[in-house]
Amino acid sequence: MIALEHLAAPKPLHIHFARMATSIGRSNVPFIADASRSWMNVPELADAIQRIVEETAEQVAAGDIVAIGNSMGGSEAIMLASVTPANRVLAIVPQYSVRPDMMSEEPRWTFLRDRIVERPYPKVPVLRDRECVVTLLYGGMQDEWMHASRFPEDAGYRHYLFPERRHTLARSLHKQGLLRPIVQAIIEGRPSGAQKAIEAAGGMLRAEFEAAGLTLSPKEAGHDEI
């Protein structure tokens, strides 16, 4: 399993991901943190990470490669899967793009986005033609839906939204003991088990979420849940 760093957190979530993975007893877990906070847009960064992943996989004679990330790390997990033989991806609240011309309505992380000079990854790549099972988890707020709605619906992704949850989705699920069953099912390659765990935690398929018209603005939702 590959655990990718969250934008910023008092206790990085990739540590929790790794603990969940290693507790199964069969997973080797490299930690990857983008210290540039560039959404993998620093020149040659993607190549360097690709080499680390492939060399590690060879050294440990890896079976499946699973990339898990939150927020910026979720975006980078998808990017990584486009250049490595990843079998599964769990991306939690990933940004579809941080380019101002592609996401003009996105006001967050401006201080990081403005520092990006080159953009080899103007948006997350589509993994439609790769043999990789991609699971996307999003909160149901408008500021999350602006990214979630841009993912192509015909890409075959397992796409879920959590009504009334925010960008803090992963942390709140972890706090409530609901994240581990999801991560474990993804790592073990049990899609039906993952769906069951996601739905038990309050997630619903994107099509059902859209049909129900459940998107809320942060003001309508009130205070955060944690």
| Counted domains in the chain | 1
Between the alpha carbon of residue 75 and those of residues 40, 60, 72, 90, 94, the distances in Å are: 9, 26, 5, 10, 5
What is the reported pLDDT for 223? Answer: 42
Residue 198 domain flag: yes
Single pTM value for the model:
0.87
Query: What CATH number does residue 120 fall under?
Result: 3.40.50.1820
- What is the average pLDDT across 74-90? 93
Residue 172 pLDDT > 50: yes
Q: Both tokens of residue 146?
A: 């602006």
| Buried b / exposed e along 68-87 (16+ C-beta atoms within 10 A) | bbbbbbbbbbbbbbbebebb
Residue type, 209: F
Q: Both tokens of residue 204?
A: 């619903």
Residue 134 domain flag: yes
- What is the average pLDDT across 140-147? 93
Host domain of residue 51: 2-221
Residue 39 domain flag: yes
Residue 170 pLDDT > 90: yes
What is the reported pLDDT for 117? Answer: 85
pLDDT tens-digit readout, 84-95: 889 999 999 999
Residue type, 120: P
Residue 100 domain flag: yes
Start-to-end Cα distance in the chain: 28
Sheet (strand 88-92) strand order: 31-32, 2-4, 66-70, 88-92, 133-139, 158-162, 204-205
| Greatest C-alpha distance within the chain | 51
Residue 226 domain flag: no
